[in-house]
Amino acid sequence: MKQNPLLELPALPTFSQIKVHHIVPAIDYLLDDNKKQVEQLLNATEQYTWDNLVQPMEELDERLSRTWSPVSHMNSVVNAKELREAYNACLPKISNYSTEMGQNKRLDAAFKYIANSSEFKQLHHAQQKIINNQLRDFRLSGVELDEQDKRKYKTLMETLTQLNSKFEENVLDATHAWTKHIADEKLLDGLPESTKQLAQQAANTKEKTGWLLTLEFPSYYPTMCYADSRQLREEMYEAYVTRASDEGPHKGKWDNSEIMADILAARYDSAQLLGFNNYAERSLASKMAKDPAQVVSFLTDLAERSLPMAKAELDELRQYAEQQHQQTQLEAWDIAYYSEKLRQHKYAISQQELKPYFPEKKVLQGMFAVVSRLYGLHIEAQQGIDTWHKDVHFFNILDSNDQLRGQFYLDLYARENKRGGAWMDEYSTRMKRNSTTQTPVAYLTCNFSPPIGHDPALFTHDEVLTLFHEFGHGLHHMLTQVDYPSVSGISGVAWDAVELPSQFMENWCWQREALNLISGHYQTGEPLPENLFEKMLAAKNFQAGMQMVRQLELALFDFRLHLNYDPQQGARIFDVLDEVRHHVAVIKPPSFNRFPHSFSHIFAGGYAAGYYSYKWAEVLSSDAFAKFEEKGIFDRPTGLQFLTSILEQGGSKEPMELFIEFRGREPQIDALLRHSGISAMDA
Ligand code: ZN
């Protein structure tokens, strides 16, 4: 065990030392040792206190999560067969461990003892929150069930963990199984030069000549937006929207159909065991939203306000395609293509045109300058850090007192064996041990276009928005001043409030003053020209109504899938989707579309009956940003207030309480509607 780098708990993981054979023994040892230590803590006394029970348990949890973190991270970003096997071998063990802890009656009683003791009132509010959260989580783990139901619950949790992982594996494998080799450049007409170069680079790495298109986002998305060949777009669209399903070029292979049905059934059963009517109720038990009715009416109301605009936008697109391009029948694979043409027609601007102004280095420096002006932070790169891939960078965040506040890894480019999308994850969390404070460490992961040839990586404005978003999550995790890991940083933050700091950061990407910091032509250094900026702003809400209803469609689909699940009828995935679309969608995709089969957020991630959180939190983030619009976007006192009221507080208080502390009142929807170009007066 001494030789196991996973158990040495260094300040930063020693990635190059971690081998697949270390994983299972490390986890086995820790799970076993944690259980023994918890037993000892419970046996040592009958008068439980923060110091003799909760604090040591926080440390045990932190130790486990720091051991598991590099494993689960590597499984996402450098996935390989053996690693995947070891990772999957640990999942049921960890799931069982956490269910056993959650169902431990003595532990529950010990926490209740502290909650009712005279000590409780003396504790810091963060400590009180941890104890209250823990008591809630005991209930949600089935501590009150009889032995038979407890076992049932445990099996369900184990099954769910495995199903979620299998779902994600299928998506990853299906994504990488499809490529399109192109020998005749004419087929690529319309594609931006950078997308062609990327395809050429992809072909080269496979020792092929010509061009290779893939379903990774930097290849897929520009092809859908720009390829003149309708046939190519159709072929690629079909491959993309049928990944891991019973349709399309790989139909039946990696098919998630049954897995999705099993996931929904297991979630329903687990919710029933705990006394909820359905999994949507279970999901809301730890969220800011009060009950399912509140979520449904929030989403439906927003859909009603947005639909007229979405319909008008689609009409405009249809007319434009017909009048300017003689395209009378718009298919799903035409929407992005003609939308991009219409955008250029109306605003004379394309995503591609902006790219030269957003080279990687400039964007990063600019983003750091933005948070320096807002919060007085200073961010510097550190070389020579042991990472999982040569493209990964590492940074330190220092505050205005030169105090090290956090550290993060940045892994920006799409590549094979890396899960798609963008996310923030944590290695370590702020915590006080004796008199030393542990520094929070985060991983920021994106899937942007890599550098091509000798040019630096050039980002689209959308990619810049994504980077700011993930950095917002990172700051929430790293700037926390809470010393107890369970409610420090993003830990313990209600899931429907957790997107507040991330979506909030995106706003700066639309501000002239901020763009002066984050843009600079990669050849001339010239900042984004005024005429391009004005066009960009004019185009900001292009098809905002269509985007809004699409997000609401996903959110309502997810929520209703869990809210209306009926074991007699089974999953009814496409029935529910059709019902939702009937009410809120303006675009009806073709019948072979299987987007739920790769909807990892709700089938593999933590967004089950929680996808609405993005819109819910966007109300908060828009309203929070509105205060900067009132006071000045770089107003330091407002920045510091956001820092101290929201970012530093983590999950130590209820999100509503923190929001009111910052804003002086409860959130209002007006700012979101205004920012989206949907007037508050319409509905
Ligand atoms: Zn996010």
440-474: per-residue pLDDT in tens?
Answer: 999 999 999 899 889 999 999 999 999 999 999 99
- On the 0-12 / 13-18 / 19+ scale of CB atoms within 10 A, 601 is middle
Identity of residue 513: E
Q: What is the average pLDDT score of the chain? A: 95
| pLDDT given for residue 350 in this prediction | 81
Mean pLDDT on 481-495: 96
Q: pLDDT band at residue 93, thresholds of 50, 70 and 90?
A: very high
Does the structure show a pLDDT above 80 at 243?
yes
Q: Which of 361, 649, 358, 359 is nearest to 480 (CA)?
A: 649
Q: pLDDT band at residue 680, thresholds of 50, 70 and 90?
A: very low
Q: pLDDT band at residue 349, thresholds of 50, 70 and 90?
A: confident
| pLDDT given for residue 229 in this prediction | 98
Spacing, Cα 647 to ligand 1 middle (Å): 15
Whether the CB-CB separation of 213 and 182 falls below 8 Å is answered with yes
Quick one: what percent of the chain has pLDDT higher than 90? 95
Distance, in Å, from the CA atom of 571 to the CA atom of 413, rounded to the nearest integer, reads: 36
Question: Which residues make beta-bridge pairs with 458?
Answer: 359
Spacing, Cα 501 to ligand 1 middle (Å): 9
Q: pLDDT band at residue 1, thresholds of 50, 70 and 90?
A: low
What's 511's DSSP letter? -
| pLDDT given for residue 435 in this prediction | 85
Mean pLDDT on 90-111: 96
Strand-by-strand arrangement of the 441-448 sheet = 378-381, 393-398, 404-413, 441-448, 423-428
Which of the residues 158, 313, 340, 470 is marked catalytic? Answer: 470
Spacing, Cα 492 to ligand 1 middle (Å): 16
Spacing, Cα 273 to ligand 1 middle (Å): 31
What pLDDT digit, counting tens, does each position of 65-90 carry?
999 999 999 999 999 999 999 999 99
Spacing, Cα 397 to ligand 1 middle (Å): 20
Spacing, Cα 469 to ligand 1 middle (Å): 6
Phi, psi of 446 (to 5 degrees): -130, 175
Whether the CB-CB separation of 395 and 382 falls below 8 Å is answered with yes
- For tokens 């909820």, the residue is 276
Mean pLDDT on 88-101: 94
Phi, psi of 542 (to 5 degrees): -60, 125
Distance, in Å, from the CA atom of 362 to the CA atom of 447, rounded to the nearest integer, reads: 18
Spacing, Cα 650 to ligand 1 middle (Å): 15
The set of long-range contacts for 346-350, using a CB threshold of 8 Å and a minimum separation of 24, is 346/539, 346/542, 347/535, 347/538, 347/539, 347/542, 348/535, 349/532, 349/535, 349/536, 349/539
What pLDDT digit, counting tens, does each position of 398-409 carry?
999 999 999 999
Spacing, Cα 507 to ligand 1 middle (Å): 14
| pLDDT given for residue 681 in this prediction | 44
Min mean pLDDT across 217-226, 322-331, 341-350 is at: 341-350
Helix (H) or strand (E) holding 289: none
Does the structure show a pLDDT above 80 at 683?
no
Mean pLDDT on 153-180: 95
530 catalytic per annotation: no
Does the structure show a pLDDT above 80 at 149?
yes
Q: Which of 460, 452, 434, 475 is nearest to 647 (CA)?
A: 475
What pLDDT digit, counting tens, does each position of 504-552 carry?
999 999 999 999 999 999 999 999 999 999 999 989 999 999 999 999 9
CA 145 → CA 102, 276, 281, 451, 655, distances in Å?
Answer: 11, 13, 18, 55, 30
Residue 565, SS3 per DSSP: coil
Distance, in Å, from the CA atom of 324 to the CA atom of 312, rounded to the nearest integer, reads: 18
Residue 421, SS3 per DSSP: coil
What pLDDT digit, counting tens, does each position of 32-52 carry?
999 999 999 999 999 999 999
Helix (H) or strand (E) holding 497: none
What pLDDT digit, counting tens, does each position of 605-635 carry?
889 999 999 999 999 999 999 999 999 999 9
What pLDDT digit, counting tens, does each position of 637-658 carry?
999 999 999 999 999 999 999 9
| pLDDT given for residue 2 in this prediction | 63
Spacing, Cα 499 to ligand 1 middle (Å): 5
Spacing, Cα 194 to ligand 1 middle (Å): 27
Spacing, Cα 614 to ligand 1 middle (Å): 8
Residue 268, C-beta contacts closer than 8 angstroms, at least 6 positions apart: 278, 279, 562, 565, 567
Does the structure show a pLDDT above 90 at 416?
no
Spacing, Cα 227 to ligand 1 middle (Å): 30
Distance, in Å, from the CA atom of 227 to the CA atom of 188, rounded to the nearest integer, reads: 6
Does the structure show a pLDDT above 60 at 576?
yes
pTM: 0.92
